[in-house]
Amino acid sequence: MIMISDISEKELPLLPGKSIREITLSNGHLTIVVHDFGARIHQIFAPDKYGTFENILLSKDNSETYIHDGGYYGVICGPVAGRIAEASYGEIKLDANEGKNTLHSGSKGWERQFWNYEVFKEKEKIGIKLTLRDGQSGFPGNISASVVYELEGSCLTVKMTGISEKDTVFNPAFHPYFNLTADKENILEHILQTSATKVVEVDEENIPTGNLVPVGDTVYDLRKPVSIRSILEKKPQGFDHCFVFPEQNTEKTLNLFEKKSGRKLTCITDRQAVVIYTATNPEQESTISGKKMTPNRGVAIEFQELPDMVHHPEWGTIELRLGEEKTFISTYTFSVEPE
């Protein structure tokens, strides 16, 4: 039986006269801490093999700095995650916030806006629904978006929905960084596996070239479990790459495992792809759990459609037509594997 004590709220400072609402939800198996600014999941507490609950996300300290969160820790990037070349598509001009390109929808994306929210409890479920009517990001709209974070057993479901008042584009992503040691160690001994069969080739600005390269016989082949240490031995600059799931594969999966804690994360998604970012060369302005951000401290796992698709219609479409509703769902199931 879910008790009201499993939901709590408090305020955090952001700007003079503006504060962030922090909402904590627990079902006895998992606890999530959610912010209304950026629809951020700030923390996820999950048990290790000894039953000890610890936060397994990289969590940015100092809420007053969230306006300038260069790491996008745990936020919803939208309406379009990833990069858009030349900060434009068609006749639409966007905010160029990474050189001449747009990253994660620019400086007024969803991660830098306040969302409304309501919590809910059902028989076996507890969760929060956050909603936003976006007229700030510079994309056509307005876009009405919702994000639902739902706990059931040891599973977190993330459901993102959009509907627009004008033809627009819609490719949001949840942007968590995982460290299954609870930040006791770096991520080098984490074991990564995904069913992706291709990787998006990019240029020196991380903009897709248009080529989707098969992963076979490359460092990008994660179809069998591989340690992040071995990835970095072959590719010292680490990953900030988009891995493409096979179109006909109904099981689009990613697994992450860390032996000392015994924690395992199993993800299933309905998205085209996943960006895996090992944070080998991260921004280092943020303080994470009391310490400045350092390389290889967490791995970002970002399920999404292919980046810069507005310039690559051969890959599909992220169009959201007037009055059309689109929904994307990804699940994150936590378990433990004993010695």
pLDDT tens-digit readout, 134-166:
999 999 999 999 999 999 999 999 999 999 999
Task: Tell me how far apart the alpha carbons of residues 6 and 27 are, in angstroms, rounded to a whole number.
Answer: 7
Contact 82, 173 (CB under 8 A): yes
Q: Specify the length of the chain in residues.
A: 339
DSSP 71: T
Helix ranges, the chain (H): 228-234
Average pLDDT, the chain: 95
> Rounded to 5 degrees, what angle do the CA atoms 183, 184, 190 make?
75
User: Could you give the 3-state DSSP secondary structure of residue 339?
Assistant: coil
CA–chain centroid gap for 103, Å, is 14
- Tokens 């040691």 map to which residue? 181
Q: Give the number of other Cβ atoms within 10 Å of residue 126's Cβ.
A: 22
- pLDDT tier for residue 249 given thresholds of 50, 70 and 90: low
- Tens-digit pLDDT profile for residues 33-50: 999 999 999 999 999 999
- Range 247-252 contact pairs with CB under 8 angstroms and sequence separation of 24 or more: 249/195, 251/195, 252/195
Give the per-residue pLDDT at 3. Answer: 35
Task: Write down the pTM of the prediction.
Answer: 0.96
The values of phi and psi at residue 30, to 5°, are -140, 155
- Tens-digit pLDDT profile for residues 9-26: 999 999 989 999 999 999
Contact 137, 79 (CB under 8 A): yes
Contact 23, 10 (CB under 8 A): no
Task: Tell me how far apart the alpha carbons of residues 154 and 73 are, in angstroms, rounded to a whole number.
Answer: 22
Task: Tell me how far apart the alpha carbons of residues 302 and 274 are, in angstroms, rounded to a whole number.
Answer: 5
With residue 273 as reference, give the H or E element that holds it. strand 273-277
DSSP 101: B
